[in-house]
Structure 1
Amino acid sequence: MTSITNRFTTLFRIKANKALDEAEDPREILDYSYEQQLQMLQRVRRGVADVATSRKRVELQVSQMQQSSGKLQRQAEQALAAGREDLAREALTRSTAVAAQTTDLEAQHASLADQEEKLTLAMQRLEAKVDTFRTRKETVKATYTAAEAQTRITEAVTGIGEEMGDVGMAMQRAQDKTEQLQARAGALDELIASGALEDATVPVGRDDIQAEIERVNADQNVENELARMKAQLPAASTARAVEAPRTPTARPEREETP
């Protein structure tokens, strides 16, 4: 049972692959691949934009932290000048924490900048590949279209194409049928001439004697018509046409008697 199932599966795959191969158009596949590459390039561009946005946001945060740290430094100095050492210490503590956060943000900013640079280079290489693929795609499509047109023209000229093949077969069938009818007509004529078949146009009951009488009558009618036409010709012409030149006849020599 498993063997039969495997055979059916294999047969189905063969038929499916053949059907897909016949329905497959390389131009459509190339266009689809190009669209997929454009979509991938679009995703890479969005990724670069997202990284750049994150880098810019971190950059703004670093700037704000630096401003906050400077403000705390000034507040510590003012508190120390006012004799409030406790406030100065609090301000310096906060400033130290802000400085640590600023350092982390700066490291994050550097990492994002590095990622942005790498993604930008990758995007540029991908753009170049997509542009090269687009040029190559159009060249291949044009070549395929020209080859397809040339193949169709050659098939039409040689008669091996599907449409022209049908026309050629129809022409051959018509010729064969014509030759068959001609052969049949020739065979029937031979049978009629030999007497094996009767001519349907001849009246029923007509025999060979009657046919011979009619032939004699037809010949007599021809002779009568010919005589009538000769009688209507001028006398001189008739005389010249009728009279034949006479040659003198040699007189026989008399034998001498001893």
Structure 2
Amino acid sequence: MGILSRTSYVIRSKINSILNRAEDPTETLDYSYEQMRDQLQEVKRGIADLTTQKKRLEMQKRRLEDNVEKHNEQARTAVQQDREDLARRALEKKKTKMNQIEDLDRQIADLQKQQDSLIDQKNELQARIEEFRTKKETMKARYEAADASSTVSEAMTATGEEFEDVGRAIERAEEQTEDMEARAAALDELKETGAFDDVMSDKDNIDRELEELSTGSGVEAELETLKSDVGGGETDTATETDAESVDEEVTPDPEPAGDVDESDLEALEDDVDDSEVEAELAELKDEESN
């Protein structure tokens, strides 16, 4: 096979493949049906034209038959008038017309045969068209049902081109979501370990740990204080008595609530705060020694 032959063969195969992919069976069936109907119309027009020609010959035959009858009457009249020459001439014309009639009969018979043949072909073609129309509708229904079933199957299995694109989009979304979740978890872990210092704060990791320790110790101290308050009623009573004595020393001459000296109140608050601080400090020292 030469280069040109191979090239031509490859081109034809490519074109045929493209046409096969672009072909819609339902459209092809409809087009074939229309072509058959056009052929039927051509056959009908041929029958009509043939019948028209036959009718013209029949009309011409009838005119010749009328002329034959006319020449026959002329010959009879000439014989009655002893004009044999005229009678002979009339008979000769009659003979000529009869020969023409015979030719027309043969032509009319041939046209009739052709007409009958075309009518038979037309009837056969029409029957085939009706049969094809039924098959066409059946094939179209089957094709549409198969196409719908294939579409549903592709949707269920996600094997179609569009569904493959959707599946890939979902996979990409899942991957991006997993990446974002992993990144968020990594940042949280690094933040907990102190690997990332807060840019808005001047405290380092050591300062934050000391703050956590001090906060925890303060909570423990306050918890111990609450336990001691609940468990030791006598200690509370003594503390209240000391507080009253302190109040008496600070305010020997009580005055109405509205006339209390602000300097005395501040001194009282300082004494109370100092005592509480000293008590919590003693408790912290006891905890550390234990």
TM-score normalised to the size of structure 2?
Answer: 0.71
* Unaligned residue ranges in structure 1 (runs of 5+): 237-258
Following superposition, the deviation at residue 52 of structure 1 comes to 1.4
Question: Is this contact kept in 1: 2:197–2:205, CA < 8 A?
Answer: no
Q: Quote the Cα distance in structure 1 between the aligned partners of 2:63 and 2:26.
A: 55
Q: Bigger CA drift: 21-30 or 215-224?
A: 215-224
* 1:214 aligned onto 2:233: no
Q: Quote the Cα distance in structure 2 between the aligned partners of 1:174 and 1:18.
A: 37
Q: 2:173 is matched with which residue? A: 174
- Relative contact order, higher structure (CA 8 A, sep 6+): 1
Corresponding pairs, count? 232
Identity rate, percent: 41
Q: 2:284 is matched with which residue? A: none
Q: Quote the Cα distance in structure 2 between the aligned partners of 1:91 and 1:72.
A: 5
RMSD over aligned CA atoms reads 2.7
Q: 1:105 to 1:211 in 2, by over 3 A?
A: same
Following superposition, the deviation at residue 116 of structure 1 comes to 0.9
Q: 1:17 to 1:231 in 2, by over 3 A?
A: farther
Q: Quote the Cα distance in structure 1 between the aligned partners of 2:199 and 2:8.
A: 69
Residue 159 of structure 2 aligns to a residue in which SS?
A: coil
AA aligned opposite 1:146: A
Question: Is this contact kept in 1: 2:75–2:87, CA < 8 A?
Answer: yes
Question: Is this contact kept in 1: 2:26–2:140, CA < 8 A?
Answer: yes
Q: 1:242 is matched with which residue? A: none
* 1:198 aligned onto 2:196: yes
AA aligned opposite 2:65: Q
AA aligned opposite 2:58: E
Q: 1:225 to 1:21 in 2, by over 3 A?
A: farther
Q: 1:6 to 1:49 in 2, by over 3 A?
A: closer
Q: 1:43 is matched with which residue? A: 42
Q: Quote the Cα distance in structure 2 between the aligned partners of 1:223 and 1:17.
A: 88
Following superposition, the deviation at residue 98 of structure 1 comes to 0.5
Q: Quote the Cα distance in structure 2 between the aligned partners of 1:182 and 1:112.
A: 91
Q: 1:183 is matched with which residue? A: 182
Residue 29 of structure 1 aligns to a residue in which SS?
A: helix
Larger Cα-atom Rg: 2
Following superposition, the deviation at residue 17 of structure 1 comes to 2.5
Q: Quote the Cα distance in structure 1 between the aligned partners of 2:63 and 2:229.
A: 142
Q: 1:204 to 1:68 in 2, by over 3 A?
A: same
Q: 1:49 to 1:7 in 2, by over 3 A?
A: closer
Following superposition, the deviation at residue 235 of structure 1 comes to 8.8
AA aligned opposite 1:198: F
Following superposition, the deviation at residue 219 of structure 1 comes to 0.9
Following superposition, the deviation at residue 224 of structure 1 comes to 4.2
Q: Quote the Cα distance in structure 2 between the aligned partners of 1:192 and 1:11.
A: 66
Q: 1:31 is matched with which residue? A: 30
Residue 97 of structure 2 aligns to a residue in which SS?
A: helix
Following superposition, the deviation at residue 184 of structure 1 comes to 3.7
Q: 1:156 is matched with which residue? A: 155
Following superposition, the deviation at residue 185 of structure 1 comes to 4.0
Choose between structure 1 and 2: higher helix proportion: 2
